[in-house]
Homo-oligomer: A and B are copies of this chain.
Amino acid sequence: MEIVETFREARALRRGTVGFVPTLGFVHEGHLSLIERAALDNDMVLVSLFVNPLQFGPGEDFDAYPRQLERDAALISEAGAKVLFSPSLSEMYPEPALTQVEVPELAIHLDGVERPDHFRGVATIVTKFLAGLQPSRAYFGRKDGQQLAIIQRLVFDLSLPVEIEGCPTVREADGLALSSRNAYLSNVDKAEALALSSGLMAAADLAEAGERRAAALIEAVRDTALDTEFSYVTLMDRRTVHPLEVLTEDAFLAVAARVGPARLIDNIHIDVAGDAIKVDRGVRLDRPSVLYAT
Interface residues, chain A, CB within 8 Å of chain B?
7, 11, 95, 97-106, 123-124, 127-128, 130-132, 134, 153-154, 156-161
A66 → B minimal CB distance (Å): 26
Contact B158 A128 (CB under 8 A): yes
User: Are B127 and A158 in contact, CB atoms less than 8 angstroms apart?
Assistant: yes
Contact across chains for B102 and A156 when beta carbons are under 8 A apart: no
Is A98's CB under 8 angstroms from B132's CB?
A: no
- Contact at B98–A105, with CB atoms within 8 Å? yes
Which of B97, B103, B123, B160 contacts A131 (CB under 8 A)?
B160
**Max chain B C-beta neighbours (<10 A), residue from A7, A100, A106, A157:** A157
B98 touches A101 (CB 8 A): no
Is A158 in contact with B134, judged by CB distance below 8 angstroms?
no
- Starting from the known contacts A95-B157, A131-B131, A132-B158, 12 additional A-B residue pairs (CB-CB under 8 Å) come to A95-B156, A97-B157, A98-B153, A99-B102, A99-B157, A100-B102, A100-B103, A101-B158, A124-B158, A127-B127, A131-B159, A131-B160
Cross-chain contact B157 with A98 (CB below 8 angstroms) = yes
> Closest approach, in angstroms, between the C-beta of A137 and any C-beta of chain B?
16
* Residues in B neighbouring A159, C-beta threshold 8 A: 7, 128, 131-132
Q: Is the CB of A99 within 8 A of B101?
A: yes
A123 neighbours in B (Cβ, 8 Å): 99
B102 touches A153 (CB 8 A): no
Q: In the complex, which of the residues B11, B106, B128 contacts A157, with contact meaning CB atoms closer than 8 Å?
A: B128
Residue in contact with A100 in the complex, picked from B7, B101, B134, CB distance below 8 Å: B101
Contact B132 A11 (CB under 8 A): no
User: What residues of chain B lie closer than 8 Å to A158, measured between beta carbons?
Assistant: 99, 101, 124, 127-128, 131-132
25 CB < 8 A contacts A-B: A95-B156, A95-B157, A98-B103, A99-B101, A99-B102, A99-B123, A99-B153, A99-B154, A99-B157, A99-B158, A100-B101, A100-B102, A101-B101, A124-B158, A127-B127, A127-B131, A127-B158, A128-B157, A130-B131, A131-B131, A131-B160, A132-B158, A132-B160, A134-B134, A134-B161
